Amino acid sequence: MSVTTSTSDPIATSLPTGDDALAALTAAASELEAAQQPSWPDTAALADVIETLRSYPPLVFAGECDILTERLAAAAEGHAFVLQGGDCAETFANATADNIRDRIKTILQMAAVLTYGASKPVVKVGRMAGQYAKPRSSSIETREGVTLPAYRGDMVNDFAFHEAARTPDPQRLVQAYHASSATLNLVRAFTTGGFADLRYVHEWNRGFVRSTANAKYEQLARAIDKAMRFMAACGADFEAMRTVEFFSAHEALVLDYERPLTRIDSRTGKLYDTSSHFVWIGERTRQLDGAHIDFVSRISNPVGVKLGPKADIDEVLRMIDKVDPERTPGRLTFITRMGAGTIREALPGLLDKVRASGAKATWICDPMHGNTFESTTGYKTRSFDAIVDEVRGFFEVHQSLGTVPGGIHVELTGNDVTECLGGASQIIDTDLEKRYESLCDPRLNHQQSLELAFLVAEMLGQA
């Protein structure tokens, strides 16, 4: 079945639908170069796994992806604010009930504070239920004279430093599917079964500001408390606020996972990557003529592209034509990750030119990936102050241009880890070893995540 779009818009393209679309997706797989892919040693085993994944049910429904597209369109117009958060790299071992609960709890707490600050709905998106693959700066790692393949996420290989562990194993793709399925199932249960009740979330936040270290956020917490009482006095239906809309997201990196989970939507004949509601393409894999950008241009999910400080404007404009030729509101999100010291110079030009081109994108700030450095104690870390400063710069730039700051994208956990420096509990270099658990990038811990939410709420209140 092939359907052409009839439009007079010169940039609109006609993508095939149905079986033709799936065939084109498969053909592109063999023609285009895909960066950062595992070197699977056993290609027959990989082929079996791909067939297995093809036979599995989708993890999300296309209609849910469309709802997220609408929410992201609202964020692009300034009618909503997006919060994307979760681990840099999920692991199979950490996909436990407690960890998932605490991450959801952290995101819900942040969202409540941001909703108050923005006076807008907050679109809640977890970097979870699929964030199992990592692009790496180097494809090898050397320790004490021994060189092995780099860890590329649990979907590909194991973190343990020996040859068998680091050898890519396609069975891990199947494990990633099951871990994602179980995670998403619990997330759906938490967010629709009563755990997300705004009254609980508010109580958790009151608990957070009770500690002396966080007393500086008390004023805002009191204002939220007053608003809750006001709502109660007006007879607000808190029962209706027991459930929240929550979406999943991850980097679409390993195409041997994403392609077999890409399915035809029975309603429209269009393709959706049913591994997640939202997928993004990372800074290292966004080559215009590469397989990743081709892949997202063929699916109808809302998609993101990370943009670093060196993003070339012409390339970005061509990317818009390729990924969002029909200029569908909410379809394309740019996640900027410039660095605190760079964002104020690097972002205005991009915003300005994209606006001048007539294209619309949702702009989200990732204040993590441009602010990574090695601590004196040898840990990959980030400082809380730089993270806050990058978000501040993001708001300043948007404000000066009259464009819309659409949301934030953060690496966080609900656990009390010590991976990022600073924050009210003043984590210093020598603290990092106490509880450094990330297998890739350092995450904000529970307290630091909430602090960030309070600070961003203040920025939103002033915007």
Ligand X SMILES: O=C[C@H](O)[C@H](O)COP(=O)(O)O
Ligand Y SMILES: C=C(OP(=O)(O)O)C(=O)O
422 contributes a contact to ligand Y by CB under 6 A: no
- Coil, strand or helix: which one is 100? helix
| 229 marked as part of a ligand binding site | no
| 188 marked as part of a ligand binding site | no
- Return the one option of ligand X, Mn ion, ligand Y, none that residue 137 interacts with (CB less than 5 to 8 A, by type): ligand X
169 or 251, CB closer to ligand Y? 251
At its nearest, how many Å lie between Mn ion and the CB of residue 24? 31
- Return the one option of Mn ion, ligand Y, ligand X, none that residue 176 interacts with (CB less than 5 to 8 A, by type): none
Question: Stretches 111-119, 271-279, 280-288, 309-317: which one binds ligand Y (CB under 6 A)?
Answer: 280-288
224 contributes a contact to Mn ion by CB under 5 A: no
137 contributes a contact to ligand X by CB under 6 A: yes
Among 15, 88, 228, 421, indicate the residue that binds Mn ion (CB under 5 A): 88
| 77 marked as part of a ligand binding site | no
Q: What are phi and psi of 105, to 5 degrees?
A: -60, -45
- Give 253-275 as a DSSP string: --HHHHTTTEEE-TTTS-EEETT
- Coil, strand or helix: which one is 300? coil
Beta strand spans in 77-194 (E): 81-86, 122-127, 140-143, 146-149
Q: Please give the Cα distance from 397 to 455 (Å, whole number).
A: 17
369 contributes a contact to ligand Y by CB under 6 A: yes
Specify the pairing of strand 373-374 against strand 380-381.
Answer: antiparallel
Question: Stretches 148-156, 217-225, 245-253, 436-444: which one binds Mn ion (CB under 5 A)?
Answer: 436-444
The overall longest dimension of the chain from CA atoms, in Å, is 68
| 152 marked as part of a ligand binding site | no
Among 66, 87, 258, 441, indicate the residue that binds Mn ion (CB under 5 A): 441
| 440 marked as part of a ligand binding site | no
CA 443, 448, 454, 460 torsion: positive or negative? Answer: negative
Q: How many angstroms separate the Cα of 326 from the Cα of each of 8, 14, 24, 290, 331?
A: 11, 9, 19, 21, 9
294 contributes a contact to ligand X by CB under 6 A: no
Token reading at 288? 């215009």
Among 158, 258, 283, 324, indicate the residue that binds ligand Y (CB under 6 A): 283
71 or 382, CB closer to Mn ion? 382
State the CB neighbour count (10 A cutoff) for residue 283.
Answer: 20
Among 75, 88, 125, 323, indicate the residue that binds ligand X (CB under 6 A): 88
Distance of CA 33 to the CA centre of its chain: 24
Among 277, 298, 306, 398, indicate the residue that binds ligand Y (CB under 6 A): 306
- Give 353-366 as a DSSP string: HHHHTT---EEEE-
Among 135, 330, 339, 442, indicate the residue that binds ligand Y (CB under 6 A): 135
- Return the one option of ligand X, ligand Y, Mn ion, none that residue 283 interacts with (CB less than 5 to 8 A, by type): ligand Y
Q: Please give the Cα distance from 319 to 288 (Å, whole number).
A: 6
Which helix (H) or strand (E) segment is 407 a member of? strand 407-411
86 or 330, CB closer to ligand X? 86
- Coil, strand or helix: which one is 367? coil
386 and 410 Cβ atoms separated by less than 8 Å: no
At its nearest, how many Å lie between ligand Y and the CB of residue 396? 21
**One-letter amino acid identity for 259?**
R
152 and 170 Cβ atoms separated by less than 8 Å: no
| 245 marked as part of a ligand binding site | no
At its nearest, how many Å lie between ligand X and the CB of residue 250? 11
Site string for ligand Y, 428-457 (x = CB under 6 A): -------------x----------------
Token reading at 23? 């065939």
In the DSSP assignment, the letter for residue 421 is B
Q: Which of residues 250-269 bind ligand Y (CB under 6 A)?
A: 251
Among 153, 282, 325, 405, indicate the residue that binds ligand Y (CB under 6 A): 282
At its nearest, how many Å lie between Mn ion and the CB of residue 125? 16
Q: Please give the Cα distance from 434 to 438 (Å, whole number).
A: 12
136 contributes a contact to ligand X by CB under 6 A: yes
| 321 marked as part of a ligand binding site | no
Q: Which of residues 409-448 bind ligand X (CB under 6 A)?
A: 440-441
Question: Stretches 124-132, 211-219, 389-397, 437-445: which one binds Mn ion (CB under 5 A)?
Answer: 437-445
Place of tokens 């408390």: 225
Q: What are phi and psi of 10, to 5 degrees?
A: -65, -25
Size of the site for ligand Y (CB under 6 A): 10
90 contributes a contact to ligand Y by CB under 6 A: no
Closest CA to 328 of 293, 302, 364: 302
Residues annotated within a binding site for Mn(2+): 88, 369, 411, 441
Interface with ligand X (CB under 6 A): 88, 134-137, 440-441
| Positions at the binding site | 88, 127, 283-284, 306, 337, 369, 411, 441
Task: Return binding residues for phosphoenolpyruvate.
Answer: 127, 283-284, 306, 337
Name the site residues for ligand Y (rule: CB under 6 A). Answer: 88, 135, 251, 282-284, 306, 337, 369, 441
